[in-house]
A and B are shown apart, each in its own frame.
Chain A
């Protein structure tokens, strides 16, 4: 294409210009052969003609350039082939070179046209690596990032592969496969029906439940290297409420705010606390678990907004009241309130922001020994200092699900550095006071280190 375009301007157009001059010359020539002043006039007129022609040529060149552009666009759109390129713009600097092969092209292909035709329908793919390290000692939870007793000082904690694509005009699909140290699992895999009547946004598959905020978030979008204590103790730990089921979310029309109600039904198997007790566990098909969530969101100004949520979840916990005919008759119920305040000045949004967040969770767990009612919460604040730097604090407090008299507390300082949008380095100092028995406390001081990086398709920024 480059040569075609170049040839057009280097040979075809000048030829046309010459033809134009030749055509113009005889007409002028008829006026020659008169007196000297006439000759002078003619010379001037000729010069004017040449100027006129030059202007017309420039206009013509512009017109042809534009038409060429349009034609190339059409060609690219019909072929869906590799985008053609035109000569590079003049004066590309040594200090800020154009990316290799990035030339000034003028075609306007359809989406995906810059790659080969066959790949157009491949899903967007990305892989996110999450490397963790820990220093310091923790006698209660030797594995710094989850249940288990192995003192993993360094680990490639998780590699998440994301596959996302539009299925048809009515649906899209999202798959997140997690490769961890224990093996491979489908972290999430669901279809989203985007066009149901009545404004119902429906997801079918395996998904993180809409219980509070943190439960629905993947590791790599959290502002910390770990998850808050309350999530570990009461909401099933890192995996959380994450199960196969159906989710339906509807916007509730009202004149004041964004209000969304979500209802979810799951198979009933989710999460585990640090001691390995499952949050929800089924012993028969009818023992489904449920999550409902009400979210209210309101812009306070262009720069600030508030996000409130109320959550409820209920499921069988796998324990029995002793009735052999019904081995999994006991139930755990969770109640949650979450609140998020965000500040981000629009005009300097890439440099400064603040997110303050808190979640309060109450657990009512039926056990053979009786009902355990425990509560927990965290409060966190994250401030973006500059384009690449973030700092944060978090305070933790949570009862144990199976013994509400034991209450762990903790706190963290976090610093995060973003070399680019596609990688981040994080250090977190974490102090935890574990309640190991009636008025017995074991404290752990740890330094956590996290390196995250993503390759592949550009994902959406989390909100």
Chain B
């Protein structure tokens, strides 16, 4: 019986902890990826500070839950996650150990950026791990579509406005500016890509379905036999045959994957093998969300021209 008293005291203290007592300084925003950080920077301007946990050249499924990230999260006012279980292997322990009531899942300072976005590949049948490390809530690489960029921007602007109602007009104005610039850029990107509509390609992981849908590309296969499962000789052979049959001349590889199998496929099929970052910060040429598409589209068009495919 004696032991229940401290527990009751602790529980009581827990209730008090939920009352926020923060000065109205700059909002400290932590994002899981550099893509979200870039969009948050556009929307939050100089009224927020932004830091990303993962680097753009890292595989976002496999980030290590380092204690140094706990320190970042401890001080965060807002945590913005990609969601759709992209970060399931590493974000929950970080949030749990952050000792920060503001950013716990479901708290006001936690934002799942996927809630307004168009999500592809949502499985609606029975899914099992025989399909590999499938994302049961749909493909989480949804930021690779500028339309989703706008939706993410809106989610972030709304969240920032909610937390800093005094700055709400500023955030909404920043959002309008971001959306307008993104609209203009998107028209340019669509025009650049228009001649290459229907180009067939293969990608390493399923990182580009939203990109392909927006810009009319046709992804006919993957270097991975199943999501998260490394290439097998049999699958690679099947893929090469399928590429030859359909005359596919392009292989896209995310910067964090081994080049051995893609290069072998390239040699066998005569396809161009292109390292194309799916994230801001993936290479030094893509420091922000706009440059990500600028650079990727230029890389892609160059590679399509070189490959001789349409």
User: Footprint of B on A, CB under 8 Å?
Assistant: 66, 69-70, 73, 77, 82-85, 89-91, 93-96, 98-111, 113-114, 166, 169-172, 192-197, 199-202, 204, 246, 251, 258, 260, 295, 297-299, 302, 305, 307, 344, 346-351, 387-388, 420-422, 455, 458-461, 463
Number of interface residues, chain B, beta carbon within 8 A: 89
Given contacts A103-B122, A193-B14, A199-B99, 14 further A-B contacts (CB under 8 A): A70-B116, A83-B124, A85-B124, A106-B120, A107-B119, A111-B83, A114-B122, A169-B18, A169-B104, A170-B18, A172-B96, A195-B17, A349-B256, A458-B85
Q: Which residue of A lies closest to B238 (CB)?
A: A95
Q: Which residue of A lies closest to B3 (CB)?
A: A246
B13 touches A196 (CB 8 A): yes
What is the number of contacts between chain A and chain B, taking CB atoms within 8 Å?
Answer: 227
Q: A98, A107, A111, A455: which contacts B112 (Cβ < 8 A)?
A: A111
Q: Which residues of A contact B134 (CB under 8 A)?
A: 99, 102
With contacts A251-B71, A387-B230 taken as known, whether A195 is within 8 angstroms of B122 at the C-beta atoms is no
In the complex, which residues 89-107 of chain B have their Cβ closer than 8 Å to any Cβ of chain A? 89-90, 92-93, 95-101, 104-107
A104 touches B209 (CB 8 A): yes
B67 touches A258 (CB 8 A): yes
B138 touches A105 (CB 8 A): yes
Q: Which residue of A lies closest to B225 (CB)?
A: A96
Q: Indicate if B178 sits at the interface (CB-CB under 8 A).
A: no
Contact sample, A vs B, 19 pairs, CB 8 Å cutoff: A91-B220, A96-B221, A99-B127, A101-B125, A103-B124, A108-B114, A108-B116, A114-B122, A114-B124, A114-B137, A170-B14, A193-B10, A200-B99, A201-B97, A347-B58, A347-B256, A420-B229, A455-B129, A461-B62
In the complex, which residues 114-149 of chain B have their Cβ closer than 8 Å to any Cβ of chain A? 114-127, 129, 131-134, 136-138, 147
A420 touches B222 (CB 8 A): no
A82 touches B124 (CB 8 A): yes
A105 touches B11 (CB 8 A): no
Q: Which residues of B contact A349 (CB under 8 A)?
A: 58-59, 62, 64, 256
User: Footprint of A on B, CB under 8 Å?
Assistant: 6-7, 10-11, 13-18, 55, 57-59, 62, 64-68, 70-71, 74, 83, 85, 88-90, 92-93, 95-101, 104-107, 112, 114-127, 129, 131-134, 136-138, 147, 200, 209, 212-213, 218-222, 224-226, 228-230, 235, 238-239, 241-242, 246, 255-256, 258
B93 touches A460 (CB 8 A): yes
B90 touches A102 (CB 8 A): no
Q: Which residues of A contact B213 (CB under 8 A)?
A: 89, 104
Q: Which residues of B contact A455 (CB under 8 A)?
A: 129
With contacts A192-B96, A251-B71, A387-B258 taken as known, whether A105 is within 8 angstroms of B120 at the C-beta atoms is yes
Q: Which residues of B contact A421 (CB under 8 A)?
A: 133, 228
Q: Which residues of B contact A94 (CB under 8 A)?
A: 242
